[in-house]
Structure 1
């Protein structure tokens, strides 16, 4: 409990950079240019920043590199996800409730700090924009508006941690957007969708499966209201290369679409679990997806 309270205080005191990526780049540049001696603490901090940049960069550039790491035996640590900050507003017609997650226990403090700072900055920006929108609406003397954000741990195994973060905007009707982070806790890697595959052929394979599944759902269930074009064919054509996803505890790939993205609003956030057998030929390995 003392550790969590200490972490909360540290996170609340953090001055978040406007662009985290730029901070990492500048850190690496400073490491290359300067040859001055640093204290042990400063050298350690710089090493962490460079290490996380190298790890995240390598996993995005070289899927084979990521796959080679998974065979390294690493002792697991206790990783926790908790609410570090809540930003609220409760006026007669304006409500906000933004819960910010934080991760503790990752072996890579650089990766952990980068993620935690990102989560804090995202909610701070959401709250700042919400307050500005409220001020604009109050000037005209009318309006109802709300915003809600939070998170859910989708997967937490000895190896994998998948965190889903949601944002619900309520102006008349509501819209929901999702973001996911999936982490290899043993090797301290932030997994991206492209990093799971040998090449970009996965986009076509997954898209074809989803399109067929949509057609089957609409045939079997009259309440399945996906967006359609002329001839009642699904309007959906293809996932993005970096489409929202997470990995389940039993190593299945789940592709996610935001509310209204490919279906009627009442269907909410729509997800598809992709059969692993149709992916086997294009996967880098079978460590994450089985």
Structure 2
């Protein structure tokens, strides 16, 4: 089976969507947006994915939003059209921009590529232009990263049809409040064993800027050394009790230097949790054996305080 886009199935399915949608009591503006997107989808040709709808008399605007979500998650062009639909109270949101699936006896891929979009109704938000600029950069990075994983997957199965290979990619919004919007993109590659990676993208809604790891700290601050030393302390503390089974690539005299954790990267993977604490993220196998999975270290704010550029962002 070839690896390709999954699109809506034919005129008959689109007509069913229209019939279901016409039963919904929704605002006129939203209705026009959805109808416009369905009309665009009618011009599409391609392969299909079975779509199940929640049906019933008296469907409300909530049900209409379910139809909206189904459309977005199954068609790339519809997703682009739907990015224009306003969502009350949401300045920034994620839509599933592209969806890929592939399956055979030996391999399987389930991929959902998100795009982060700015609500066009936020015309009075002074940070809107900067938010749009920032989301474009984020989406380009997401696209490049997911394309790389997809191409590696395709190359592996094309070179060896008997190889057992799996690829899953999806995303999750882990924070969306007055200050920050954070989306996590995760991927699991499976062959003999699984390996999970995660990437976090953070937007400051008040400035429109993407929050980067170096950008958290004052110019010239030696944040790499300070945070690395704190993580080593946490690792050693966790390894004190052998019954916990926690092992990190640290302080092993028999291991080569390049196999041990020495320090974080200058652009280390991170997020800011809902308690406004900095969390450092390591992918599987980066600092510990695979059975330990992803590794997360919350850094005490008092350690960071002298280094921080914005003491309101991390507390």
1:92 and 1:254 mapped to 2: Cα distance? 39
Answer yes or no: is 1:147 the counterpart of 2:167.
yes
2:164 and 2:184 mapped to 1: Cα distance? 27
Please report the TM-score for the alignment, with normalisation by the length of structure 2.
0.65
Structure with the higher fraction of residues in helix conformation: 1
Q: Secondary structure at the match of 1:188?
A: coil
The superposition leaves residues 57-92 of structure 1 with CA deviations (integer Å, 9 ceiling, x where unpaired) of xxxxxxxxxxxxxxxxxxx85322232221111111
Answer yes or no: is 1:230 the counterpart of 2:253.
yes
Offset of residue 205 of structure 1: 1.1
Offset of residue 285 of structure 1: 2.2
Q: Secondary structure at the match of 1:219?
A: coil
1:242 and 1:114 mapped to 2: Cα distance? 16
The aligned counterpart of 2:273 is: 248
Offset of residue 137 of structure 1: 0.5
The aligned counterpart of 1:280 is: 305
Answer yes or no: is 1:135 the counterpart of 2:158.
yes
Higher radius of gyration, 1 or 2: 2
Unaligned runs of 5+ in 2: 1-29, 35-67, 82-88, 120-127
The aligned counterpart of 2:287 is: 262
Answer yes or no: is 1:212 the counterpart of 2:225.
no
User: Using a 3 Å threshold, how does the CA distance of structure 1 residues 94 and 288 change in structure 2: closer, same or farther?
Assistant: same
Q: Secondary structure at the match of 2:239?
A: helix
Higher relative contact order, chain-length normalized (CA < 8 Å, sep 6+): 1
Kindly report the root-mean-square deviation, in angstroms, between the aligned alpha carbons of the 2 structures. Answer: 2.6
Answer yes or no: is 1:102 the counterpart of 2:115.
yes
Offset of residue 112 of structure 1: 2.1
The aligned counterpart of 1:118 is: 141
User: Using a 3 Å threshold, how does the CA distance of structure 1 residues 212 and 185 change in structure 2: closer, same or farther?
Assistant: same
Offset of residue 189 of structure 1: 0.5
The superposition leaves residues 92-130 of structure 1 with CA deviations (integer Å, 9 ceiling, x where unpaired) of 111011111122226232222332243234323422332
Report the more deviating stretch, 127-136 or 115-124.
115-124
Assess if the C-alpha contact under 8 Å between 1:194 and 1:200 holds in 2.
Answer: no
Alignment of 1:155-166 (within 5 A): 155-166=175-186
2:221 and 2:200 mapped to 1: Cα distance? 20
Number of residue-to-residue matches in the alignment: 225
The aligned counterpart of 1:170 is: 190
Answer yes or no: is 1:9 the counterpart of 2:30.
no
Unaligned runs of 5+ in 1: 14-75
User: Using a 3 Å threshold, how does the CA distance of structure 1 residues 280 and 153 change in structure 2: closer, same or farther?
Assistant: same
User: Using a 3 Å threshold, how does the CA distance of structure 1 residues 249 and 8 change in structure 2: closer, same or farther?
Assistant: farther
2:99 and 2:201 mapped to 1: Cα distance? 20
Assess if the C-alpha contact under 8 Å between 2:79 and 2:95 holds in 1.
Answer: no
Assess if the C-alpha contact under 8 Å between 2:156 and 2:163 holds in 1.
Answer: no
Offset of residue 150 of structure 1: 1.2
1:121 and 1:226 mapped to 2: Cα distance? 31
Please report the TM-score for the alignment, with normalisation by the length of structure 1.
0.70
1:235 and 1:125 mapped to 2: Cα distance? 27
Answer yes or no: is 1:81 the counterpart of 2:94.
yes
Answer yes or no: is 1:91 the counterpart of 2:100.
no
